[in-house]
Each structure stands twice: as structure tokens, then as C-alpha cells.
Chain A
Amino acid sequence: MIQQPGTSGLIFNEPLLWEKSRMGRCAMSLPKPDVDRNALDADLTGDAPNLPELSELDVVRHYTRLSQWNFGVDSGMYPLGSCTMKYNPKTNEVQAARQGFSGAHPLSGDEFSQGALKLMYNLEQFLAKITGFHAVTLQPAAGAHGELCGMLMIHAWHARNGRQRSKIIIPDTAHGTNPASASLCGYESVNIKSGPNGILEPETVAAAMDEDTAGIMVTNPNTLGLFETHIKEIADIVHSKGGLVYGDGANMNAIMGIVKPGEIGIDVLHLNLHKTFSTPHGGGGPGSGPVAVGKTLEPFLPVPRVVKDLNTYKFITDCPDTIGRIHTFYGHFGIMVRAYSYILSMGAQGLTDVSKLAVLNANYIKESLKGTLNLPYDRPCMHECVFNDEFQKQYHITTMDMAKRLLDYGFHPPTVYFPLVVEGAFMVEPTETESKENIDQFIHAVKSIAQEAKDNPEQLKKAPRLTKVTRLDEVLAARKPCLRG
């Protein structure tokens, strides 16, 4: 009998900050004034902002209680497909917190920032070696920001060639942010469908690609967790019509040491340091979205760039074809430190093992659950697999019901209703850091839930029951927006 992690326990209520506020309290130790007070003109000053007034323990207890209402990777298995919720090593936090890194001012000057510059330079080199590209920028602050950066470079390349194009091809298996990133560059999205086996077919691309099309955005492995086996032919088709291939490398964690996107026809690729390279997701950022390019696009990288000059490192901004700047300073340096620590801790062999075990875990789940849940694309998967609720429809049970019930079992649900190409998608990405025992527990939980769907569907409709709150009314939230207290 497998014991599931979910149980009930004492959980605390906690009001909003301002409901705890009492005039005259302050949780901050204020420095003693040692210079004269020098009042500004009263015309310029306003009332002090009406922030809550609390004692130190009030603040500590408030956030401790709030944290207990959250589920994180450290709490339990978090198989959120496409998001790569792997373990976030704690030593990386120690490295980023070193005074020399966390205290460094971004405008200290190159001469006095050699440690930061060397780290950035080395990290760029590591990422270039992992992806098979020529050069890397670390400036983008998130995956979507990296996408925008890559698309701006494609846009700038076409402009430099003297003829701008108006469209971009986006398959149905690409990430959701791709069309919005393209439209910021003024490109109209041409949506194409993947083939019956979930893979993009060269003929479909050939039919859509013309000389008004700037290129294609491909997520590989795609959002079905499948490797695009025709990627090279597709790249050749796009290149022959003068276009470029954008690779969404959010799923790089599946192919490290196996495939290098820079060797198979991709021109520009973004990575997510918070997925493949283990930096924490932080409840939604800060992440980091470096972009790797081949020689064609290198002149268009954002500035400043880090270069090595003998044994010293410096920033350069004198790059005539650059797309410009996309972050106030150099990107999310604190996240770079964590990813750099991770790569050094893993080494080449470790990173290759990461991909192999991530793929093993996903295939193990796929094989173990395919009789329980419907598997629309039954072929070997990479790091994630996508089921849906087809088998449960007869009991009027949806993917959402099963996801909510998983919470009671003590698991974070998989990604649901994405990718759009699968109706009622239930997208599982276990990651390599989950052990066989954890995965077996998860498989057992899903099987039990499928059984409940048959025997006791009401139990699923009412789920979750063990959480701080039950299902929330999202329609009410959107109809009468209350965005502040």
C-alpha cells in the first residue's frame, strides 16, 4: 500500500497586512540621525504613504503563515509540464548571496567588476558549448524576454539586408508567448498545424514559407514533449527562401549532450535558466532568458556585450548592427550566478545525465499511465508527456477535476489545458530530480483518481478539500476586479 503525501493539518488564518496594523508600530530598526535635518520645500513633499504599521513579529508571522499556504518544489512533486520544476540546489543561493556579487554596483566600472564580468563571460561560453552556438547574450530577463530579443534580431537582420518581411510561421505546438513576441516586431503570425503524429512536416512548412516570411519559430522538443525529427529539412526550406529559424529552447533540459540546436539549422535560440539550469521560479520570476546565436546573427546581439581582452574582461557597446539595449543593466546577474554554480556542480557528464533521466522519468510515467488516461500521441516522448480526459468524459469528469483532486493527494497538478493542440490536456513533466518512489506515488495517485472518477465522481467535483481554500470563483474576480485592498 502506497501512502500518499497529502494529509490535513493545522493551518493558520492570517488577515491582510493592514488589518493587523496599529498606529505607532514599526518593524524596522532606524539608523540614528547623525546629520542635521534639512527639510525640503513643503510644496514638494506629500503625506507619508499609508503603509501598515506592524511589529517585527507581526511581519515574521504574517509571511510565515502565508508561506504555509503555498506549494513549492521543496514541499512535493511539482510535475508542471513545460515549466521544468526541478529541485533548486541550495548551494546556488549561497553563491549568489556572496557580498562580492550581491553588493556589486552595476556602474562600478569594468576594472572593479572583474569577478562579475568573468562569471558572465564564462557562463556565455558554457551555454554556447551546451547549445552548439557561436555567441550568447545573458541580458534577457526571462524566457519571453529572450524570445523578444531573438525576434528583434531576426527583424534587424532582415532590415540590414534591405527588405523587411511581414510574416512569421508559428506551429500549433509552439509556446504560447511566441505569437505575441513576433507581433511586437510587427510580424503577422502564420499558424500552421503539426502532422497527425504531433511532429511538424516539411511539406506544411514549404507550403507556408515564402519571400515575405521572416522565418519560423520552432519549439524543440515541442510542447507535446516530442522531438521535431524533420528540423533540419525545415530549416533548409526556411533558409532557401531567405528566412531564419528561431528555436525556443525552453525544453533544452531534454537534450543536453544529445543534440546541439546550433548544429541542426537553428539560427537563434533562447534558454530559460530557471528551467534547464535549476534557478528557482520564485512564484513567477525573476528568471533569466539568455539567447544563443550563430555567426549570422552575432552582430545583432544586444549591448553591452562582455568581451575578453588578454586576461581582463570588459563591456563593449560599439556594435553598429546591435538591436540595442533590452535591460537597464546587464540582465538578471543574481540568476546567472546560480546557473553558473549549477553548471559547475554538474559538469558535462552530469548535464547529460540530467537529460537522460528527465526523459526516462517522463517515458516511465507515460507507459505507466497510458491505460489510465488517454494518450493522444502514443510515441516515445522526451522530458514530458501529454494525456487528456477522453476516458473520463463518460463520467463527466474533466482534466480540471482530476487536477484539483491531485492536490488532496499531496501533488501539484500537471499543466492543464495546454498545449492547445490537445483538448483537455494534462501535461506531465516530472524532471530528473524526482526519484522512482516519488513517481510511483504520483502514478498511484492518478490511478486512484481515475478509479474515483468511475466510483465516486462527486469526490472529484468537490476537490480540493484539504487546501486552505476550495475552488475559487475566477469569473467573479474578472467581472468585478478588486485589485487592491
Chain B
Amino acid sequence: MRYLPHTRDDIETMLKVTGHSSLDDLFAGIPDHLKTKQGIDIPESLSEWELNTHMEALASLNIACKTYKCFIGAGSYDHYIPAIIPYLISRSEFMTAYTPYQPEVSQGTLQGIYEFQTMITELLGMDIATASHYDCGTALAEACLIALRKSSTDNKIAVSSLVHPSHRQIIQTYIRPAGFEMVEIPYTKEGLTDIAALEQMKGIAGIAVQSPNFFGNIEDLKAFKTITEAKNILFIVSFTEALAYGLLKNPGSLGADLVAGEGQSLGLAKSFGGPGLGLLAGTHKQMRSLPGRLIGKTKDANGADGFVLTLATREQHIRREKASSNICSNNGLNAMTAAMYLATAGKTGIREIALQNHDKAEYLKKSLMSSGFLPAFHTPFFNEFVMKVPENFEKKRKTLIDDHCVFAGLNLEPFYPELKQHYLFCATETISKDDIDNLAKEVRS
């Protein structure tokens, strides 16, 4: 096997040094009754040729061919990835290193993630960003735990029903065993979180609102801040589309205490939902509550600038059972990818991409309206919106996938049973006017 360098001679010489008679003898210390009597029942090894054939056959069973068009977002977005991103992130010094425990030989990772932290704080208008989490859902669950632990009296977290459905499920999984409770804030007929309903809620330790929300609509975050200030509780903002903040007012400027987001849009492939990039940011006040790694600037013995993992005293390997979170490693390579994307786009690039996302989505909405679709809400949105579809749409949608590899929107009924015949549509900069015109033509009733 080409990954195993040992020759027969090597093995013999090494066994002599260790004092064993054979490779099996190395395991003599394990009692026989604990050893397995059967081998591993998996297929025989494949050559690289066979593997390529096998994997391409498997990959082609997914309808994600080169020409496919994706009008679905809902937490995973089809954005263009500039050629330099996969090229640079494939450098083995980034990819085959581990957590920078030895900073003298990890300055590449460390400076890169420090720059990532900085650009994320810039994007979100926050003071501090961590070196990443698994995904938005897990970062948001951690943010909810921070809010819940801060309160000595209240054990409920109020979460908008327009937070991504999966994220709400993750929050439940994370907080229930510790005895906390999640209450959902209903949504209004305008497709926004119901502030009036929230005002009536008692015994809550924090609130979490997604903007743009799951329907794509932009929430009035300032209004929520007024409530959290009055109640003296933490205000958590989440988002699934990071590029929205190339255009929208950032959550920091609207008063967020904690921000949890998904960074997949920043140069990462959809990859069937993972690995993505969990973003978690906070105000200075939250610095010591934030779980996850942080990189800080310091000096070396000669007085030169350098970077290290810092504030480790918050972490599980030091605080053990007293740590508030068990997260240790994160999605570091994806954070580095996102940093590369942000540096590539720059200030003008990110604004232009964001504008084009919004323009395409507006054009898609208009085009679908002219094909007989009805807008579910009349609320400003970024690149996703909800439409009530004509009767025969589901059948046409399937034909579009089978014949043209076009995925026309996401059925909302499984997530919101009251929204029969409602679909969530998304358009990004990868969708052309022609794509939209073709779609509108195909689905015309």
C-alpha cells in the first residue's frame, strides 16, 4: 500500500529493537477474549483508477452537474468561488497542519486567522470574533447558552420562528438537558418576527432573531434592541447569508450583543451542507463568555510581532468540567478560506456582489409574478423571498430538475405546515438574466 512505507526488512529490524517476534506479538498484551475473532467485513482495497471510477459514478447520482442552476438557498448558497481560492487553500502547509500549539511554526495559520477575526468584526460591526465554529446552528446554540447562563432567574430563550428551522432544532438539542427551555416568537403576516408577541413574553433570558430571516426578509433589528435593553437581557442576531452584510446595516450597529452566522457564502462549496463555517462574534463585554478559539497578537523574545492562541483559560482543556463549552478545534481551514474570499472581494467587491444578489432576486421575483406566482409578503428582502405558486408547479418543478438540472425553489410546507403551496426562492450572482427568463417561461401556467 503506497501510504505504508515499511519494507519487510524494516519490520524485521524494528521488531528486533522492540523485542517482539511478529507484528501480531505487538498486541500480546491485549487479552485474547478482547480481540475480535472476525476481520473487518468491508470491500477489498481499490487502486486509484478503480477509486476514480467508483467515485465519479457515485457523484453523478447527485443531480449537481456543471450546468445546473440552483434557485434554492435556505442556509446553503450557490456563489462563485474565484480560482485563486481553491488554489491557495490547497497549500499543504495550511491543510496538513494542526491547531497552532507551536506558534513558532504556525504563524501562517495564526496571522491568517487573526486577519479573519478582524475582517469578520468589520463585516458584522462587532468587537470580537472567534476563530470559527462548526456551523451557524451550533454557534447560535452556544450563543443561546451564554444568554441563559447569564441569567440567575430566567431559564427561557425566545427564538424567532423565522430562525432557520434546523437551527431551532439544534438549540433544543443543546439546551434541554441542562434544564433550559426555548420559546418561539411567532411571525406576522408580513413575514417578520412578531415584536408585539415578544413584548408579552415573561421569564426570558435572551432573544435570538435571524436577519435576513428564513423567508429572506430583513428584520427591524433596532426594534428588538429596544426590548432587550428594557428587559436587560442579551440580544442575539443570526444569519445564514453572510454576503447580505456587504449591503445591509450590520448587526453590531443595530445593537446586537452576540452574532452567530453561517460563513459558507464566503468562498466555500455547498458540499451537501458541510463543512460550512460557523461565525460567532460579540461585544467586548462578552469576551470571556465566548466559547471557541481566539488568536491574539503578541511579541516574541526579540520584540518582533507574532500571534498566539490566547485566553485559553476559558477553554475545556484547562477548565475541564467548569468550561462552559466543549468546543476545541473548529473549522479553521474554512475560516482561512473565508478570509481569502474577503481579501479577494475587498470593500468594493463585496458591495458589488451583494448588490447583484439583491438585483437578481428582485428580477426573479418580478419574473415569477409575471408567470402567475403571488408574492407571499411585501417586505424588503436580500436574495431570498417566498412565493405562492400555481397549482401545477410541483410537477413542473420536477420536470425542470429531470430535464434541465434546474432546482426551482424550496417547498416551505414541511417546515411551516400552514404555508401550503409556498416556495422559498433564491437568486445569487451565479444566476444570469437568461436563466431567470428561462425559468419564468418554463413555469408559466
- Contact among B94, B178, B342 for A72, CB-based, below 8 A: B94
B318 to A, closest residue via Cβ: A176
Interface contact B26-A98, CB-CB below 8 Å: no
- Contact among A71, A156, A231, A326 for B170, CB-based, below 8 A: A326
A205 to B433, CA, bound (A): 68
Answer whether A179 and B316 are a contact pair too, CB < 8 Å, given A71-B97, A283-B97, A364-B14: yes
A49 to B248, CA, bound (A): 10
- Quick check: is B197 within 8 A (CB to CB) of the other chain? no
Interface residues of B in 1-56 (CB under 8 A from A): 1, 3-6, 10-11, 13-15, 17-20, 23-24, 26-31, 33-36, 39-46, 48, 51-52, 54-56
- Quick check: is A48 within 8 A (CB to CB) of the other chain? yes
Interface contact B304-A101, CB-CB below 8 Å: no
Interface contact A51-B272, CB-CB below 8 Å: no
- Contact among A98, A367, A472 for B55, CB-based, below 8 A: A98
* Interchain residue pairs with CB less than 8 A apart (27): A46-B253, A48-B246, A49-B245, A54-B344, A69-B106, A69-B108, A107-B75, A108-B64, A112-B407, A118-B61, A130-B40, A141-B138, A155-B177, A183-B321, A257-B40, A283-B333, A286-B331, A324-B169, A324-B172, A329-B274, A332-B274, A335-B275, A348-B42, A353-B4, A380-B29, A435-B10, A471-B300
Interface residues of B in 156-192 (CB under 8 A from A): 164, 166-167, 169-170, 172-174, 176-179
- Quick check: is B201 within 8 A (CB to CB) of the other chain? no
B130 to A, closest residue via Cβ: A483
- Quick check: is A239 within 8 A (CB to CB) of the other chain? no
- Quick check: is B117 within 8 A (CB to CB) of the other chain? yes
- Quick check: is A207 within 8 A (CB to CB) of the other chain? no
- Quick check: is B143 within 8 A (CB to CB) of the other chain? no
- Quick check: is B294 within 8 A (CB to CB) of the other chain? yes
Interface contact B34-A232, CB-CB below 8 Å: yes
User: Using an 8 Å CB-CB cutoff, how does the interface string of A86-125 with B read, 1 for contact, 0 for none?
Assistant: 1111010111111111111111100011111011000000
- Quick check: is B429 within 8 A (CB to CB) of the other chain? yes
A148 to B393, CA, bound (A): 42
Residues of chain A within 8 A of B380, CB atoms compared: 40-41, 44
Residues of chain B within 8 A of A96, CB atoms compared: 271
- Quick check: is A379 within 8 A (CB to CB) of the other chain? yes
- Quick check: is B348 within 8 A (CB to CB) of the other chain? yes
Overall SS of chain A's interface? loop
Q: Is the interface on chain A under 10, 10 to 19, 20 to 34, or 35 or more residues?
A: 35 or more
Residues of chain B within 8 A of A141, CB atoms compared: 134-135, 138, 274-275, 331
B1 to A, closest residue via Cβ: A350
Residues of chain B within 8 A of A380, CB atoms compared: 26, 28-29
User: Using an 8 Å CB-CB cutoff, how does the interface string of A251-273 with B read, 1 for contact, 0 for none?
Assistant: 00001111110011000000000
Interface contact B64-A341, CB-CB below 8 Å: no
Interface contact A36-B359, CB-CB below 8 Å: yes
Task: From B78-86, B229-237, B370-378, give the one contacting chain A.
Answer: B78-86
- Quick check: is B276 within 8 A (CB to CB) of the other chain? yes
- Contact among A72, A105, A364 for B64, CB-based, below 8 A: A105
Interface residues of A in 347-368 (CB under 8 A from B): 347-354, 356-357, 359-361, 363-364, 366-368
Task: From B202-210, B306-314, B384-392, give the one contacting chain A.
Answer: B306-314
The distance from the CB of A281 to the nearest CB of chain B, in whole angstroms, is: 4
> 10 tightest CB-CB pairs across the interface, nearest first?
A329-B273, A100-B59, A347-B45, A106-B273, A282-B333, A115-B61, A284-B332, A286-B275, A72-B96, A324-B173
- Quick check: is B228 within 8 A (CB to CB) of the other chain? no
Answer whether A27 and B349 are a contact pair too, CB < 8 Å, given A56-B84, A344-B45: yes
- Contact among A182, A331, A434 for B274, CB-based, below 8 A: A331
Interface contact A103-B347, CB-CB below 8 Å: no
A318 to B201, CA, bound (A): 31
- Quick check: is B419 within 8 A (CB to CB) of the other chain? no
Interface contact A26-B349, CB-CB below 8 Å: yes
Interface contact B36-A260, CB-CB below 8 Å: yes
- Quick check: is A126 within 8 A (CB to CB) of the other chain? yes
- Quick check: is A1 within 8 A (CB to CB) of the other chain? no
Interface residues of A in 311-329 (CB under 8 A from B): 323-329
Interface contact A72-B3, CB-CB below 8 Å: no
- Contact among B52, B118, B138, B249 for A485, CB-based, below 8 A: B118
Interface contact A45-B306, CB-CB below 8 Å: no
Answer whether A474 and B35 are a contact pair too, CB < 8 Å, given A27-B346, A325-B166: no
- Quick check: is A413 within 8 A (CB to CB) of the other chain? yes
User: Using an 8 Å CB-CB cutoff, how does the interface string of A178-220 with B read, 1 for contact, 0 for none?
Assistant: 0111111110110000000000000000000000000000000
Answer whether A435 and B5 are a contact pair too, CB < 8 Å, given A41-B380, A95-B55: yes
Answer whether A483 and B272 are a contact pair too, CB < 8 Å, given A49-B250, A260-B36: no
Count A-B contacts at CB 8 Å.
Answer: 668
A45 to B248, CA, bound (A): 4
Answer whether A360 and B96 are a contact pair too, CB < 8 Å, given A103-B269, A180-B316: no
Residues of chain A within 8 A of B304, CB atoms compared: 469-470
A334 to B, closest residue via Cβ: B271
A335 to B334, CA, bound (A): 12
A78 to B, closest residue via Cβ: B98
Answer whether A68 and B51 are a contact pair too, CB < 8 Å, given A16-B115, A51-B345, A287-B329: no
- Contact among B43, B63, B296, B351 for A48, CB-based, below 8 A: B351
The distance from the CB of B325 to the nearest CB of chain A, in whole angstroms, is: 7
User: Using an 8 Å CB-CB cutoff, how does the interface string of A462-473 with B read, 1 for contact, 0 for none?
Assistant: 001001111111
- Contact among A93, A280, A330, A471 for B104, CB-based, below 8 A: A471
Interface contact B274-A95, CB-CB below 8 Å: no
Residues of chain A within 8 A of B298, CB atoms compared: 472-474, 476-477, 482
The distance from the CB of A93 to the nearest CB of chain B, in whole angstroms, is: 7
- Quick check: is B88 within 8 A (CB to CB) of the other chain? yes
Interface contact A63-B293, CB-CB below 8 Å: no
A239 to B312, CA, bound (A): 36
B92 to A, closest residue via Cβ: A74
Interface contact A108-B329, CB-CB below 8 Å: no
- Quick check: is A375 within 8 A (CB to CB) of the other chain? no
A325 to B, closest residue via Cβ: B169
Interface contact B92-A49, CB-CB below 8 Å: no
The distance from the CB of A244 to the nearest CB of chain B, in whole angstroms, is: 15
Answer whether A91 and B4 are a contact pair too, CB < 8 Å, given A80-B101, A324-B172: no
Interface contact A346-B1, CB-CB below 8 Å: yes
- Quick check: is A161 within 8 A (CB to CB) of the other chain? no
A189 to B316, CA, bound (A): 13
B87 to A, closest residue via Cβ: A60
A327 to B135, CA, bound (A): 7
A38 to B84, CA, bound (A): 30
The distance from the CB of B250 to the nearest CB of chain A, in whole angstroms, is: 6
- Contact among B39, B170, B325, B350 for A184, CB-based, below 8 A: B325
- Quick check: is B223 within 8 A (CB to CB) of the other chain? no
- Quick check: is B360 within 8 A (CB to CB) of the other chain? yes
Interface contact A113-B62, CB-CB below 8 Å: yes
Interface residues of A in 284-300 (CB under 8 A from B): 284-287
Interface contact B344-A59, CB-CB below 8 Å: yes
Further pairs besides A70-B105, A436-B10: 6, Cβ < 8 Å:
A45-B249, A73-B97, A102-B270, A185-B178, A258-B27, A478-B311
- Quick check: is B395 within 8 A (CB to CB) of the other chain? no
User: Using an 8 Å CB-CB cutoff, how does the interface string of B323-339 with A read, 1 for contact, 0 for none?
Assistant: 10111111111101000
- Contact among B43, B312, B317, B434 for A177, CB-based, below 8 A: B317
Interface contact A330-B321, CB-CB below 8 Å: no
- Quick check: is B369 within 8 A (CB to CB) of the other chain? no
User: Using an 8 Å CB-CB cutoff, how does the interface string of A27-52 with B read, 1 for contact, 0 for none?
Assistant: 11111011111101100111011111
A347 to B, closest residue via Cβ: B45
- Contact among A36, A73, A80, A483 for B363, CB-based, below 8 A: A36
The distance from the CB of A174 to the nearest CB of chain B, in whole angstroms, is: 10
Q: Which of A49, A107, A343: most chain B CB closer than 10 A?
A: A49
A59 to B302, CA, bound (A): 28
- Quick check: is A67 within 8 A (CB to CB) of the other chain? yes
- Quick check: is B148 within 8 A (CB to CB) of the other chain? no
A264 to B37, CA, bound (A): 12
- Contact among A44, A49, A259, A328 for B167, CB-based, below 8 A: A328
User: Using an 8 Å CB-CB cutoff, how does the interface string of B97-130 with A read, 1 for contact, 0 for none?
Assistant: 1111111111111011111011101110101110
